[in-house]
Every structure is written in C-alpha cells, then in structure tokens.
Amino acid sequence: MHIKPVKVYKMNEDFKISPKLVYMGEYDDEYNLMNVYNSSQEKLTRIMGTYQWILNSTGEIFFIEEDLPDLTD
C-alpha cells in the first residue's frame, strides 16, 4: 500500500473558485486509489463508475483529482 495526498473538490462548486482540499489517498501496489480519508480520518466511499466520493457522515460529494503515480516512491 502507498499513502499520498490527493486533491479533493466539493461537487457543485466552481473548481476555479473553490479551494481544493488535500486528503490522504491509499493506493494499492498497482496504484489504484482504494481509500480516501479526510483530515478527521473519516473514510469516504467511492461512487462506483465515477471519480466522485461521498462522505457518509455529511452526505457531501467530492471529486477526487488523481495524480499519475510517482514510481519513485
């Protein structure tokens, strides 16, 4: 497993105006994003077939900007 920051945007907000949040992403050995955690260590749930994740405690939906894997890690 590899853990690195991911860029997160709240859905339904202008991406150019809204600040991006930095959450932690957990990647498997093939660099597939498996889990995302916010600053409170709450786990987000992927909405299958999309780049969107939901924070179950609030119902907020986020777009996750996945970076290309850095193979030097």
Encode 8-22: b = buried (16+ Cβ within 10 Å), e = exposed.
Answer: bbeeeeeeeeeeeee
Provide the pLDDT confidence category of residue 21 given band limits of 50, 70 and 90: confident
What does the chain come to in residues? 73
Residue 23 within any structural domain of the chain: yes
Considering its fold, how many domains does the chain have in total?
A: 1
The verdict on residue 50 lying in a domain is yes
Is residue 71 domain-resident?
Answer: no
Residues 6+ apart with CB under 8 A from 15: 9, 63
In a domain, 17, yes or no: yes
More confident site: 53 or 14? 53
Q: Is residue 34 part of a domain?
A: yes
CB atoms inside a 10 Å sphere around CB 50: 10
Q: Is residue 72 part of a domain?
A: no
pTM for the whole structure? 0.77
Q: Which domain holds residue 18?
A: 2-65
Pairing of strands 2-10, 52-55: unpaired
